[in-house]
Amino acid sequence: MLSYVWAQDEAGGIGFQGHLPWQLPADLKHFKEKTMGRPMLMGRKTFESLPGLLPGRQHVVLSHQQLDLPKEVLLLTSEEALDSWLAEQTGEVCVIGGASLFAMLADRVDKLEVTRIKATFPADTYMPEIAWDDFELVDQDCRQADDRNKYDYDFETWLRKG
């Protein structure tokens, strides 16, 4: 199963200058819960935006460049290598960005784990269009801003219909 795990603002912004445009501790906790124990598939820029290797998760980077990555990171250098690797996976694979990887796999994703932040931020990277009619909302958790999380936000889980 291929799932997307991401957060976006009201304008679809997902990144600014190589980082998340917001600070939302509840979303980081949610991200950890959704990805723990699962391989995380990402592009080079997303990998470079991480604070380091995230424990308990396999890191898989798709890049057409040969990169000097930690030995724990699997580098895939072509779409063919990605397809071959995905065919070997028996459990859920979490795609965590960036935008070009989300766009590339849009017709293959089975599950969407989105945090919708009820605000708009400066952004230079946006979530590609998703065919929302192809998915069904199966879980929604609406949260209010609090002393640690400055914005209202919703956690949503969508599954591909059929």
Q: For residue 66, what pLDDT is reported?
A: 86
Q: How far apart are CA 26 and CA 40, in angstroms?
A: 19
- The position carrying tokens 């976006």 is 8
CA distance 137 to 28: 21
- Summarised one tens digit per residue, pLDDT across range 118-145 is 999 999 999 999 999 999 999 999 999 9
Pairwise CA distance, residues 110 & 104, whole Å: 14
Q: Is residue 41 over pLDDT 90?
A: yes
- 13 by DSSP, 3-state: which? strand
Other Cβ atoms less than 10 A from the Cβ of 128: the count is 15
Q: What mean pLDDT is reported for the chain?
A: 97
- Rounded percentage of the chain residues whose pLDDT exceeds 70: 100
> Hey, what domains does the chain have and what are their CATH numbers?
2-160 (3.40.430.10)
Residue 3 and residue 92 in contact, taking contact as beta carbons nearer than 8 Å = yes
Closest CA to 20 of 34, 3, 6, 30: 6
- pTM, 2 dp: 0.96
